Amino acid sequence: MEKEIKIIFEDKNILILDKWSGLVVNRSNTYKETTLQDILEKTYPELYLNVSDQEYLSRSGLVHRLDKDTSGIVAVAKNTDTFHYLLHQFKQRKTLKEYIAVVHGEIEDEIIEIDAPLARNPKAPLRIAVVSGGKPAFTKIEKMYSKNIDGNTYTLVRVFPKTGRTHQIRIHLSSIGHPVAGDKIYCASNLLENDNIVFSRLMLHAEILGFIDPENQKFHRFKSPLPNEFKI
């Protein structure tokens, strides 16, 4: 039985969805499993009829993306005018984005601001890394609390990415010595051994998304329920 996507909010212009961890957002030639784009086009075929805007069609109205293993809130435009209106807000960094993460170790500072440019890793081109001269990337971290689980310390943090680079949150947290629990790319193998016992997924969740509504010009804030795995 195919899993159904949860709807957080819907009106004539906007669809706010709650993506589960493990669901890929965008189609590609190399990925053959069901993606969020596939689900959208199957569930809302009327959105894509008689539409000539190729950018809208190529993204199935998705105005942003989440990594496959990140859960949480995703916004979809139900028409081309809304698509470009929201896309502009994302490009101009006028949206509100808040994430919750469980990271390795005990973070001492209550607030950390990370200003570290990102680019392809020269030594491993398939990965992104902090690279001098890369694209600007800014992330603010707020400590919530730390907890010892099975002899290992983890910290729950709230994350405010001010830019939206690929893997930005994961790389920035790893760069300060606190990788996201369950991160198979940016977390050391010895740390992952315990993660595989304690957690069943990447511990990163897109909890809050806010933007200006194209219909009434008011700022709307949407929230995705925190999965049980994060209630440590």
Residues marked active site are found at 67
For 54-111, the DSSP string reads HHHHHTTTB-S---TT-EEEEEEESSHHHHHHHHHHHHTT-SEEEEEEEEES----SE
At residue 219, the 3 state secondary structure works out as: strand
Instruction: Write the burial class of residue 104 (CB in 10 Å: 0-12 exposed, 13-18 middle, 19+ buried).
Output: buried
* CA angle centred on 47, ends 78 and 71, rounded to 5°: 55
Could you please report the per-residue DSSP string of 177-190?
T-PBTT-TTTS-HH
C-alpha torsion sign, points 215, 216, 219, 225: negative
Residue tagged 């392809």 (tokens):
120
Is residue 72 exposed (0-12), middle (13-18) or buried (19+ Cβ within 10 Å)? Answer: buried
Q: How many other CB atoms are found less than 10 A from the CB of residue 117?
A: 16
